[in-house]
Structure formats: C-alpha cells, structure tokens
Amino acid sequence: MRLDIRKATAPETLIELGLRMGVSVGGVEACNGPARPLIGTFGLREALDRAVESTSCVYSFVDPRTVRFSPRPPTAPPQLRASVATRSGAEAVAWLAPLTVSAGKRPLRLGSLPGGVSVIGSERLRDSGAGDTGAVARQTAGFITTNLGAARNKILLRGLSDGTFTGRTQSTVGTYLDDVPVNYNAPDPDLRLIDVDRVEILRGPQGALYGGGSLSGIYRIVTRSPELNVFSASAGAAAASTESGSPSYHFEGVINVPTSSASAGRIVVYSDKDGGYLDDVNLRLSNVDKTTRRGARAAWRWDHGDWRIKLGVARQSVSSKDTQYVTLAAGGPRRANQVRETHRNRLGQASLKIGGSGDWGAFESVTGYISHRYASRYDATLSLSQFSEGALELGLYDESARLQMVVEDLLYTGPAIGRLRWMLGAFISTTIEDSASELRARAGGMSLGLYNEDRKDRLNESALYGEATLDLGAGWKAALGGRVFNTTAHTRSAVLVPSPGQSRDLDEEASFSGFSPKLSLQRDLPDGGLIYVLTSEGYRAGGFNSGGLLKPSESRRMFHPDHLRNYEVGLSLNPLGGRVNIRTALFVVDWRDIQTDQYFGSGLSYTANIGDGRNRGVEVEASWRITPRLAISGNALFNKPKLTRIEPGYGITDTARLPGVPDVSFGGLAVYQKSLTPWALLMLTAETGYVGKSQLTFDPRYSPSMGGYYTGRLSAQVLTGGWRAALFVSNPWNSSSDTFAYGNPFSFGQVRQVTPQRPRTWSLSLTADF
C-alpha cells in the first residue's frame, strides 16, 4: 500500500498505520522513540520494520489482522527482531483501508459508526484526481450537486431536496472545514481539496449533534494537521486542454515547518484557472465562462502534555466570468445573452481549537469565525415587462450578500463508567447577513432603477446536546442522544420599487425552539462490521419574506420551521479477510412543512412551506481488492422521493415529487497498479458515474426534465519516490448531456435552459513531495 504517514510520535504512527492497513494494534505505548515518516509503497511487515526501527519495542502477530507491541528485551540480539517480524505468513490488505471518522464528535473506525457514513482518504483523493465537491459526489452514494457553476452549486444528500434554487432557506447539508461550518444559506463554496487528510459524509439528519442545517447530512473536509519534528514540502502543477475551449492550469504548494519540539506550522497555497468552453453569439465572445480560484490555508499546532492547541485560517476566492448554461432554440443549443453573468465568491475562516484529555475524560473547545461574501449578476431583459410598461432595452439584476458567523462549540467526553460511554456539549452562534439586490434597466441611453432591496438578518442559536452509549454485552450497543435548541431570527428590510409596485419596510423577529432526538441499536460483528437500526431527526428554523414587487400576503409573510424524521437499518461487512467491504442501508424519511426557495414571475425569490414529503430507498457502497494489483469500488442509491401533502395555493398536482434528485444514481472506480521497476509504479484508474433523470421543480407539468447522463474519468500515473506524473481525461466520450436545466431566474419558463457537461478535457500534472 502507498502510505504518507508523518506523525509526531511512534505510537501515533503505529495507530495510523493500523488504520490504513486494516489491522488491530495493541501495546503501542511501549514504542518510545522518534517517529519515522512512512512515505512510499510498503507491505505491512516492511512498514512495521521501518516504524519500530528506532524505538524501544518489538512486535509480533497474534493473528494475520492483529499486531502486539512489547518492550524490547535489553539483551536481545539483533536477530530477534527479524525473527519476530517474520512470524506472520499473511498480510492484511484492503485498498479502501479502514479510516477514522470523527464527524460523530469522537474518533471511530469507519464501519463502527451506525448510520450512512462514507470516508474518502487522502490516497484515494490523489489517485482519482478528486479536487472538488463534484469529484466527491461521483464517489459517494446519494451525493448529488447542481451544476450552475463553481461556488454556485447546491449539495443534495440521500434524495432529500428542498428545491434546486438557492435562496433564504438554510442549506439541507452542513459543510464543515475541520470543525467549523462554512455556510448557512449560501451555495457550496466548493473548497479545493488540497492537503486534505480525508472527507467525511454523514447521510441522514444529524440534528442531535450538529443542529439546524444538517437536515439531510454533513459534508466535512478534514485537513492535514501540522506535524511535529518533521520538515516536509510538496509542490504540484497541472495544465489542461478542453476541446473547443480555452486552456486551464493549476498550481499548489504545501510546507510543514517545526517551530519547536512541541509546535509546528503548515501552509497551503493554490491557484486555478478553468478555461471557458461556451461561446456567446450575441456578445460575439468565445469561451465566456472562465473561472479562476485562489486560496490559502495556514495552521499552527502546539502540544503540551495531554493538551493541544491548534490555530487555523483559510481563505478562498472564486471568480466566474459567466454562467455555464445555454438555451435551446430552433438552430440548436446556443448562448445569446445581453450581458456577462458574473459571479464572485469569497470565503474566509479563522478557528481556534483547544483540547485535552486524562483520567478525568476529554475536553474540546472550538471557536470559529466565518466571513462569506458572494455576488452574482443576471441578464434580466426578458422579465422587464413585469416591472414597467415602458420600452426598455436591457435589464441588469445584481445581488450580493455578506455573511459573518461566530460559533463556539464545547464538548466534554466523560470517563467510562463501567460499560457506559457518554459526552455532553454546548453550542452557541451568531450569524449576521447583509444582502442587497438591485434591478436596473436601460432605455434611450438612460439607466433606470426598477427595484432595490437592502436587507439585514441576524440569527442567534444556542443548544445543549449529548449522547450516551451503553455496551450491552455480546457485541450489542445502544446509544441515545439529543439536542435542546433555541433559535431567534430578526429581519430588517427596505424595498424601493416604482408604482405600480409597493415600496415598504419590514422589521420582524421570531423565536423557534425544540428537541431533536437520536436513538440507535447496533451489534458489532466479528469481522469488524456491524448491523444497526437508527432513528434520527433534523430541523431548520423559520424566517421572513420581504422581497417582490408587492408586499407579501399574510400567508407568505413568514415561512415556518420544517422537520425531518429518519428511520434506517444498515449493515457493514468485511468478508474475505478484509479484502471486501460492503456498507448498505435501507431508509424511510418523513419530511414535514418542507421549506423551499421559489421565484415569482418577475424572477425575484421568496421562501415557502410547500407541504410534506417522503423518501424511501436503499444505498450501497462496496469495495473489493480483487488481486494485490487490482481494486474496485462502487456506490449506488435507489430511492423514490415524493410529496405526500401539498399546501393549497401553489397549483401543484398530486403527481408532484421532490425536485432535483433522480430515482437512480451510481458510480464506480477501478484502480490497477504494477511495478515497472524497483523504484517506479504504474497506476491506471477508470471512474464512471450515472445520474438518473429528475425534474427541476416540484410540479412535473411545468418542470423540464434533466439528468439521465454518464460521467467518466480515466488516468495513467507513474509514481517514483516522491514524484508523481499523471495524465487524466475527463468526459472521455465527449458527452454534452443536460446536467442541470436551469441558469437564470429572469428567463426561466420563457426559454428552455440546459447546462451541458464540460467537453472532453485532457490534463497533465506533476507533483513532488520533499
């Protein structure tokens, strides 16, 4: 297995090695001495030999999947270690090695946590070239994203969709960078997966531990922490060519620097340009949809005994010159706008994490600050008749938002009381969002203001949460958790619109409170798997509508909280000595008072409670190391989302269903590797995915169909020492299928909008680790 383990101590190195190789390790506290990094391709015994080489311990195999460490006898001759190291006649191998997952608020081995959980480790991210949210979606069951453009998209998990538009409603999926959320109601910032240890996906409501905004799950990016006593660096560059498009490039760099024997810092920088591939026939411009992305992260870690402090900052800026949809006309698909539809998305985050442990238990404090600014421009020419009866030539709609969020999360994990494990936490946050929207038109060479709104939202959240797990014996465990919460929303808005519209002011406040429980029962299986039953809940707070040409009616003045309850039974198995891993879950979801963002005929948005919904389905993820050289993995979701109750007044038929999510989606990844020379390894990968057909909106009568397309990616890579050269081809069959039937709210319903896949793209990359 290819490893990149650089831990501060030898015990940490051995624990990480056991997780990666899929073996149990015991007695690592006997291994005092400096930690040796494990970088390269190793068999299990070879990696163990290197890890304990400069320590005071030796190891032995209890069985092929269990390694025991013990102090080295002072008089033992050198031959002893070699003879002990060769006692095992087998090595445990698993391409998708067991990884830790800490999204459950405590580190656990993947496969021991009840629920729909997926983890993609750093090696798999690098091998498959996964560098963004879309790449993660292809490798995870039930993970769907819209395709409006970089940092404009919405994540949908487990077939649970409140609509494909992004507006005032809180996201159904909580996106986290390490331990701090990075969005509230904004689109996914699409953070680059550079120097990432793993990504964790929890499917299903996570209200008990994560509160509002985790209605359908959690998407968590875990970055690599600074490593003590190790100086390391890496650099990478890539160039890409898109058929009928402009070139792209990517640069990245990472450096890890010890600042003392107990502290270290780590810095990550990157810069991308994704060349455009759409031509605007009206503006007479080629490749209009170019996107640039720049970002950096810095972290500093200090260890003192059983306590650790980590400071982190991150920043990313995404700028798109245009959206990436086209319209269907008599002459075929084309782009013919009056203006460039630009987008900017800037995310900044700062965090402080303090943790300690001892016989008294463990304590952790996470403090975070998030600044998120984004702005978009749309061509609103086709909707000008909604605002004025005069002759208008050109309409420009600009919207912007600045969100500032401060969070504090405290967690205490108590010492074991017999068979009882427990934890208790407290959470508090304040979110302030300043937003502005403006519609201007041109007539006779003059600029006219047709609509303007300035709005400020303040959201205060507080909660107490906890979970207790009781070991019932014979492998059985029961867990009970819950969250008591209170949320206060305060909205101020000023709308200025000429007659016949209604200018107005709004100043409203409301509070929402409740309890979100979680209950699970599991039985651990001898092969490291488990079987479980689980029920959990999720929720979102309500809020106020303020926009539109006219004052919202009393029924639409406010949108109410929604609530989701999940029931599931799942199974995880590791047959054939761990060479095969299977995780599957059957689920039923009941969703009440669904919040959804919708558009008036004018193109302006509002939020409504559309009714109740339900989804039933099965999700499967599996991996199989067929031979030491060949491994495959796959994922699939089969579900049937629908509306079970429809609020009157929306004109939706009884055949309505949840939009944006297909009944079927699946993906697969195959990796083949072969030694070319003693110092060079050849790796070939093939990845494919399928996203089934779905509807854009709730009502199928007026909703265009989208989806029903395949994605693909092939690569050939050569690894030698710390170098990696890779050739990738994305969309190898050059498909132009419609991935998302939406692009502009001001022409939606008047022209058929489609978003094609990016044409066939070849990329060549070179990375080096030092």
The pLDDT assigned to 54 comes to: 78
Q: Is 209 a residue whose pLDDT tops 70?
A: yes
Q: Is 637 a residue whose pLDDT tops 90?
A: yes
What does the DSSP assignment read for 356-408?
EEETTEEEEEEEEEEEEEEEEEEE-GGGGGGT-SS---EEEEEEEEEEEEEEE
The SS3 of residue 30 is helix
What average pLDDT does the segment 164-169 reach? 84
**Does the residue 131 lie in any domain?**
no
pLDDT band at 90 (very low <50, low <70, confident <90, very high): very low
Per-residue DSSP letter, 628: S
**Does the residue 532 lie in any domain?**
yes
What average pLDDT does the segment 463-487 reach? 94
Q: Is 4 a residue whose pLDDT tops 80?
A: no
Yes or no: say if 619 and 585 are a contact pair by the CB < 8 Å rule.
yes
CA terminus-to-terminus distance, the chain = 19
What does the DSSP assignment read for 680-734?
EEEEEEEEEEEE--EESSS-TTTPPEE--EEEEEEEEEEEETTEEEEEEEESTT-
The rounded percent of the chain whose pLDDT value lies above 70 is: 93
The SS3 of residue 35 is coil
User: Can you give the CATH number for the domain in which 11 is found?
Assistant: 3.55.50.30
Query: Could you give the CA distance from residue 475 to residue 93 in angstroms, rounded to a whole number?
Result: 25
User: Can you give the CATH number for the domain in which 302 is found?
Assistant: 2.40.170.20
From the list 239, 330, 243, the residue with the least C-alpha distance to 278 is 243
Token pair, residue 268, equals: 């990550």
**Does the residue 120 lie in any domain?**
no
**Does the residue 201 lie in any domain?**
no
pLDDT band at 618 (very low <50, low <70, confident <90, very high): very high
**In the listed set 37, 59, 85, which residue is the last one of a domain according to the structure?**
85
- 394-448 pLDDT per residue, tens: 999 999 999 999 999 999 999 888 899 999 999 999 999 999 999 999 887 788 8
Residue 387 CA neighbour count, 13 Å, CB half = 30
Return the higher-pLDDT residue of 82 and 737.
Answer: 737
Which residues are registered as beta bridge partners of 729?
A: 714, 762
What are the CA-CA distances from residue 720 to residues 101, 492, 535, 690, 762 (Å)? 30, 60, 48, 34, 22
Query: Could you give the CA distance from residue 591 to residue 606 in angstroms, rounded to a whole number?
Result: 20
Q: Is 108 a residue whose pLDDT tops 70?
A: no
**Does the residue 187 lie in any domain?**
no
The pLDDT assigned to 620 comes to: 96
Q: E strand or H helix at 48, and its extent?
A: helix 44-52
- 348-402 pLDDT per residue, tens: 999 999 999 888 889 999 999 999 999 999 999 998 888 887 778 899 999 999 9
The pLDDT assigned to 155 comes to: 92
Neighbours of 252 (CB within 10 A): 21
The pLDDT assigned to 666 comes to: 95
Q: Is 91 a residue whose pLDDT tops 50?
A: no
Query: Could you give the CA distance from residue 52 to residue 28 in angstroms, rounded to a whole number?
Result: 10
Range of the domain at 654: 221-769
Average predicted confidence (pLDDT) for the chain: 88
Which region among 126-130, 209-213, 505-509, 660-664 has the lowest average model confidence (pLDDT)? 209-213
The pLDDT assigned to 101 comes to: 53
The pLDDT assigned to 730 comes to: 96
Q: Is 657 a residue whose pLDDT tops 60?
A: yes
What average pLDDT does the segment 107-121 reach? 73
Helix axes 44-52, 10-21, angle to 10 degrees: 170
The pLDDT assigned to 440 comes to: 93
**Does the residue 117 lie in any domain?**
no
Which region among 39-43, 143-147, 398-402, 419-423 has the lowest average model confidence (pLDDT)? 39-43
Per-residue DSSP letter, 359: T
Q: Is 176 a residue whose pLDDT tops 80?
A: yes
What is the dihedral angle through the alpha carbons of 735, 738, 742, 748, rounded to the nearest 10 degrees? 120
**Does the residue 106 lie in any domain?**
no
Q: E strand or H helix at 387, and its extent?
A: none
Contacting residues for 368 by C-beta, under 8 A, at least 6 apart: 179, 180, 181, 349, 350, 351, 352, 405, 406, 407, 408
CA 422, 581, 620 angle in degrees (round to 5)? Answer: 85
What are the CA-CA distances from residue 342 to residues 75, 373, 395, 540 (Å)? 72, 14, 14, 30
What average pLDDT does the segment 634-661 reach? 86
pLDDT band at 330 (very low <50, low <70, confident <90, very high): confident
**Does the residue 696 lie in any domain?**
yes
**In the listed set 32, 63, 85, which residue is the last one of a domain according to the structure?**
85
Q: Is 652 a residue whose pLDDT tops 80?
A: no
Contacting residues for 385 by C-beta, under 8 A, at least 6 apart: none
Per-residue DSSP letter, 188: P
Q: Is 85 a residue whose pLDDT tops 50?
A: no
Q: E strand or H helix at 134, and its extent?
A: helix 133-138
What average pLDDT does the segment 552-576 reach? 92
The pLDDT assigned to 306 comes to: 85
Domain count, the chain: 2
Query: Could you give the CA distance from residue 582 to residue 570 in angstroms, rounded to a whole number?
Result: 11
The pLDDT assigned to 511 comes to: 96
Burial of 611 (0-12, 13-18, 19+ CB in 10 A): buried
pLDDT band at 686 (very low <50, low <70, confident <90, very high): very high
The pLDDT assigned to 251 comes to: 97
Which residues are registered as beta bridge partners of 58?
A: 70
Query: Could you give the CA distance from residue 463 to residue 542 in angstroms, rounded to a whole number?
Result: 17
The pLDDT assigned to 115 comes to: 86
**In the listed set 29, 57, 85, which residue is the last one of a domain according to the structure?**
85
What average pLDDT does the segment 579-592 reach? 94
What average pLDDT does the segment 721-743 reach? 92
